[in-house]
Amino acid sequence: MASPSQRPEPRGLRKKWRRAWSTRDAGADLLSASLRSELQEQYGDLSHLRRVGSRPPLREYFTELFDRRHFIWAGARGEAVTRYANERLGVAWYVLRPVLDAAFYWVIFGVVLQMGLGMDNFVAFIIIGVFMFQPTSRAITSGSSLIRNSKSMIRAFAFPRASLAVSLVLRDLLSSIPAMGVMFIAIVAIPPHEMPSAAWSFFPIILLLQLMLNLGFALLFGWLGSVMPDLSQAMSFASRLLMYASAVIFPIERFIDHPVALGIVQANPLYVVLEMYRTVLIDGAAPAAGDWLELILWAAGLLLVGFTLFWRDEERYGRE
Amino acid sequence: MAASDTAAGWRLSGEPKLTIAAENVRLRYTVQRTSGGRWWRRGQATAVTGPVLRGVTLAAREGEMVGLVGLNGSGKSSLLRVLAGLQPATSGTVVASAQPQLLGVSAALVPELSGAENIWLGTLAMGMTPDDAYFAKERVEQLAGLGASINQPMKTYSSGMAARLRFAISVAADPEILMIDEALATGDASFHERSKEAMHGLIARAGTVFLVSHAAQTIEEMCTRALWLDAGTLIADGPAGEVANMYRYYAHSIAIGKNEAAKRALVSATEAHPPRLSTN
């Protein structure tokens, strides 16, 4: 008879999975005593058993998430490339879409409604607003359908589901890089020309904080969307509301007299982000310390709340 | 070749480790049944929920290839979903030595991406490093055997092609517990052979494979052991050939309307191969 030593050693991935599996809570105790003894008699040791579908402990979750970094990257890149695959102009839409958007809003709000009167550079105001608003708005709208759209991946493979949210945020970053290029060119080229200044070096830092914010939103809405699938129907409305409340296309504070309403609008994280981008790019000044603090708190808070809620329901996402 | 692999799988019984155990798994489902079940006949005509699994207790060890037979609606697929943790049981416990990989009859992975890109994404999702994934890619493509279609978007695939691709990706990870829900029924003869070999390879490396099929012949050819589910209850548990044969007789009796003979077949199957673990 074969001795235990002849059993083939687990290789590569299986070894990895064994280690990951061993971090879950022991499962044999979940069986009734009579069955446990019956199984022990027939099969010996039961200490390697874990409850199926169980969520890893927090530390292990991060380890596995880090382990999936190539998956996250491949997912982000693959979907960014295929987003406009059915269009004849293909990737050109990454530039065309935001250009058309900005032109549209500029015509309506700048030329027709004359909302830019009394502002130094209304074109730059709109362009920065529209271009930098889009990644966050996409994180929210696609976040709400994240679990539903990834169901077949979730059911086919075991991986930390939060990697889907990270992938989503990365994908939006990748697909908005061309738009950001257009944005910089546009605000320099269109009069009154904004010239690069030292303050522009704050841009990547604000962008990083915005990405954190986006990830927090994606996780939060990913969880919300899995609890309430109907949410994705209301999302286009919500993102429009957010757009007007964040001063994306016109300075909303001019139209609000009520101090409480104004306070709410100005506490909105996206309002703060756009305000900071404009301070840096148009005024060429460093954003106020209060803005920094507010944005950091928002980003960290949303990330914490979003991740906690998302992680807590980890076991549920594969179910129907 | 395949046969010797099976034998190798059995030889592991020197000290077979338990890979999966389920205790008293019950599942109630919200269903719209057109024909009456037992709860229906009891006069609960307004009820829309019904039992799908009525307390299934089972265990499997490494090196086993377990077939599940039963009529449509007997709870085979539900049992697999519960065993894989994709569906919470109403009551009962399932523990395993690894997260089971379930291969169901579902849609493409990422429909917009090509088969090759889905392989890449899938292997990475399972935790492979890019190096491993690169080497696995060729094996997966070979096993799937999709030819030039591998570079087409997965949404253009037929259900059979998608199932082949997903099977090939899952096997590449060398999972300890693989569960296949009818997914391979659509494959053609050449793929049938390759998939059989791949599965035998898995159990030879101390894995466990569960295979659902209502074609008794598939179970007989591929499996070492068979479980027979009827109306959510485990009827029989024994060598694949014998259980599959009894099931075939039963299904045939039902088909030609000999309900008495079918009932007797159920009873004699339970007598010949009773479920191994006691249900309380």
Interface ipTM: 0.84
Q: Residue B41: inside a domain, yes or no? A: yes
A79 touches chain B (CB under 8 A): yes
Residue A298's pLDDT is what?
95
Residues A155, A44 share a domain? no
Residue B68's pLDDT is what?
92
Residue A236's pLDDT is what?
80
From the candidates B20, B81, B93, B140, which should be mutated to test the interface with A, based on the most A CB atoms within 10 A?
B93
> Which has the closest alpha carbon to B23: A67, A133, A113, A33?
A33
List, for residues A181-201, the tens digit of each pLDDT value. 888 988 888 877 888 888 999
Residue by residue, pLDDT tens for chain B (280 residues) are: 344 444 444 444 457 788 999 999 998 876 545 555 555 555 544 556 778 898 899 999 988 999 999 888 888 888 998 998 888 888 899 999 988 888 876 666 888 888 999 999 999 998 888 998 998 899 999 988 888 999 998 889 888 888 889 889 888 888 889 998 876 776 677 888 888 888 888 888 878 999 988 778 888 888 999 999 988 899 899 999 999 999 999 989 988 988 888 889 888 888 888 887 765 4
pLDDT-wise least confident of A175-184, A304-313, B31-40: B31-40
Query: Which residues in chain B have Cβ-Cβ distances shorter than 8 Å to A31?
Result: 21, 23, 93, 95
For chain B, percent of residues with pLDDT exceeding 70: 84
Give the pair of three-digit tokens for residue B221: 């050819």
The residue among A54, A69, A99 that closes a domain is A54
Q: Say if the Cβ atoms of A156 and B57 lie within 8 Å.
A: no
Least Cα separation, residue A105 to chain B (angstroms): 32
Sign of CA dihedral A216, A218, A220, A221: positive
List, for residues A222-257, the tens digit of each pLDDT value. 999 998 888 878 888 888 888 888 888 778 777 777
From the candidates B12, B15, B27, B79, which should be mutated to test the interface with A, based on the most A CB atoms within 10 A?
B15
- Domain residue limits at A46: 25-54
Exposure pattern of A57-95 as b/e (b: 16+ CB <10 Å)? eeebbebbbebbebbbbbbbbbbbbbbbeeeeeeeebbe
Residue B44's pLDDT is what?
45
Residue A235's pLDDT is what?
84
- State the total domains in chain A: 2
Residue B105's pLDDT is what?
66
- Alpha-carbon span A235 to A215, nearest angstrom: 17
Q: Residue A2: inside a domain, yes or no? A: no
Q: Residue A300: inside a domain, yes or no? A: yes
Q: Who's near A115: CB < 8 A, 6+ residues apart?
A: A109, A122, A250, A251
Q: Residue B185: inside a domain, yes or no? A: yes
Residue A5's pLDDT is what?
40
- Alpha-carbon span A264 to A314, nearest angstrom: 32
A85 touches chain B (CB under 8 A): yes
Instruction: Report, in angstroms and rounded to the nearest whole number, the Rg of chain A calculated over CA atoms.
Output: 25
- State the total domains in chain B: 1
Residue B5's pLDDT is what?
43
Q: Residue B40: inside a domain, yes or no? A: yes
Res A156 pLDDT > 50? yes
> Which has the closest alpha carbon to A310: A55, A78, A83, A77?
A55
Residues A206, A245 share a domain? yes
Q: Residue A120: inside a domain, yes or no? A: yes
Q: Residue B94: inside a domain, yes or no? A: yes
Find the DSSP H helices in A31-144.
33-43, 58-67, 69-82, 93-105, 122-144
Q: Residue A11: pLDDT band by 50, 70, 90 thresholds?
A: low
Q: Residue B105: inside a domain, yes or no? A: no
Average pLDDT over residues A5-20: 67
Q: How far is CA A137 from the centre of its chain?
A: 10
Residues A200, A169 share a domain? yes
A240 touches chain B (CB under 8 A): no
What's B54's DSSP letter?
E
Residue B48's pLDDT is what?
64
Shortest CA distance from B61: residue in chain A: A43
Q: Who's near A129: CB < 8 A, 6+ residues apart?
A: A246, A247, A248, A249, A274, A278
**Cα angle for residues B156, A176, A129 (degrees, 5° grid):** 135
Q: Which amino acid is at A111?
A: V
CB-CB: which of A21, A31, A51 is closest to B98?
Answer: A21
Residues A118, A220 share a domain? yes
Phi, then psi, of B175 in degrees rounded to 5? -70, 150
Q: Residue A261: pLDDT band by 50, 70, 90 thresholds?
A: confident
> Which has the closest alpha carbon to A220: A139, A122, A294?
A139
Q: Residue B141: inside a domain, yes or no? A: no
Residue A288's pLDDT is what?
92
Q: Residue B35: inside a domain, yes or no? A: yes
A16 touches chain B (CB under 8 A): yes
- Alpha-carbon span A320 to A298, nearest angstrom: 33
Phi, then psi, of B257 in degrees rounded to 5? 85, 15
A5 touches chain B (CB under 8 A): no
**Cα angle for residues A210, A212, A309 (degrees, 5° grid):** 135
Q: Of all helices (H) and strands (E), which one includes residue B30?
A: strand B18-30
Q: Residue B91: inside a domain, yes or no? A: yes
List, for residues B53-105, the tens digit of each pLDDT value. 988 999 999 889 999 998 888 888 889 989 988 888 888 999 999 888 888 76
Residue B67's pLDDT is what?
92
> Which has the closest alpha carbon to B161: B139, B137, B133, B191?
B191
Q: Residue A18: inside a domain, yes or no? A: no
Residues A221, A90 share a domain? yes
Tell me the residues of chain A between 45 and 64 that have a Cβ less than 8 Å away from chain B. Answer: 45-46, 48-54, 64
Torsion of CA B34, B38, B44, B49, to 10 degrees: -70
- Domain residue limits at B55: 2-100+175-272
Res A94 pLDDT > 50? yes
Average pLDDT over residues A95-114: 80
Output the average pLDDT for chain A: 86
Q: Residue A16: inside a domain, yes or no? A: no
Residue B32's pLDDT is what?
47
Q: Is B57 helix (H, G, I), strand (E, B) or coil?
A: strand
Tell the residue number behind the tokens 């991946």, with chain if given: A153
Q: Are B263 and B249 in contact (CB under 8 A)?
A: no
CATH number at residue B199: 3.40.50.300
> Which has the closest alpha carbon to B276: A258, A246, A38, A283?
A38
- Alpha-carbon span B224 to B219, nearest angstrom: 8
